[in-house]
A = this chain, B = another copy of it.
């Protein structure tokens, strides 16, 4: 049922270049990190921003987002699904015990449905709509909504190193979701000691550094001067 390591080459599809403020936040980071944890090599397939809403690209990603992922005959989209696919290659990032596995799934969906939307609402307010009246008015409530979720997560993690018994793909994903608060006017995760320690601990893994360096290198190499 599960794809074990195989000889198909892996390609991560992402943007060729993004504004410097977005370095470290584009979601191919998650995928690079997961591949680093498994020490799996990959190639990049780079797309111009302008091409991602063209029909040709929308056949690869129905919502015109990045990252996409290719491995042999498999063409995949949605970072959550890509991470799940990579994690299932071994026990390194995904427990084989069915109960532990289901709990890992639960935390993956939590990261993407119960936490990230609140983080992204704050990014919209603090980065993209900064000057807009609705954003100014709504900010306190949106911040509180995000903090509520973060405090719930902090309560869960209190006294634990990881979401469940050991580092899994869910911790990797949750860490990148917690990283989004660096785009807020203030990085609220640093104000919550348990979460700050958790994020630091996960980001101290060599694979995270390698993934981050690789993303920065690609974007910097292809930086537009105009």
Contacts and interface: CB of A to CB of B under 8 A. Distances in A.
Nearest to A114: B63
Among A2, A73, A98, A120, max chain B CB count under 10 A is at A98
A167 B79 CA distance: 23
Contact of A62 (B84, B110, B132): B110
Majority secondary structure, A binding face: helix
Contact of A99 (B73, B84, B103, B133): B73
B64 A81 contact: no
Interface stretch (A17-25, A37-45, A149-157, A180-188): A149-157
**Number of copies of chain A assembled together:** 2
A117 interface: yes
A135 B135 CA distance: 10
A78 interface: yes
Among A82, A109, A138, A149, max chain B CB count under 10 A is at A109
A214 interface: no
Contacts of A149: 63
Interface in A50-109: 58, 62-65, 73-74, 76-82, 84-85, 96, 98-99, 101-103, 105-109
A98 B155 contact: no
A1 interface: yes
Interface in A106-138: 106-110, 112-114, 116-117, 120-121, 132-135, 137-138
A105 B134 contact: no
Contact of A137 (B63, B105, B106, B137): B137
A191 interface: no
B78 A114 contact: yes
Range of interface residues on A (Cβ < 8 Å): 35 or more
A105 B85 contact: yes
A117 to B, nearest CB: 4
A91 to B, nearest CB: 11
A62 B113 contact: no
Nearest to A152: B63
Interface of A: 1-3, 58, 62-65, 73-74, 76-82, 84-85, 96, 98-99, 101-103, 105-110, 112-114, 116-117, 120-121, 132-135, 137-138, 141, 149, 152-153, 155-156
